[in-house]
């Protein structure tokens, strides 16, 4: 089950990184803050899931 969350969170963090660069281009500081924060949080969830469960995930 954790691989599904890892996939979804990974896609969200990639979209947030793209949004961060678009916000930098548009010079929108609030959007930069929210996109960067989303990328950092969801990216951290993906990294911790890989460290905790491994990839491919180990079934108990």
Q: Please write the tens of the pLDDT for every residue from 5-50.
A: 888 989 999 999 999 999 999 999 999 999 999 999 999 988 988 8
Classify residue 51 as exposed, middle or buried by CB count within 10 Å of its CB (0-12, 13-18, 19+): exposed
Greater pLDDT, 3 or 58: 3
What local confidence, expressed as pLDDT, does residue 18 receive? 96
pTM summary value:
0.79
Residues 33 and 4: their CA atoms lie apart, in Å, by 27
Looking from the CA of 15 toward its CB, the CA atoms found within 13 Å total 7
Greater pLDDT, 51 or 19: 19
Split at pLDDT 50, 70, 90, the class of 60 is low
């Amino acid at each position: 089950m954790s691989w599904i969350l890892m996939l979804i969170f990974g896609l969200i963090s990639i979209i947030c990184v793209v949004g961060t660069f678009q916000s930098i281009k548009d010079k929108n500081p609030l959007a930069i803050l929210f996109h960067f924060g989303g990328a950092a949080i969801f990216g951290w969830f993906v990294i911790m899931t890989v460290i905790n469960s491994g990839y491919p995930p180990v079934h108990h």
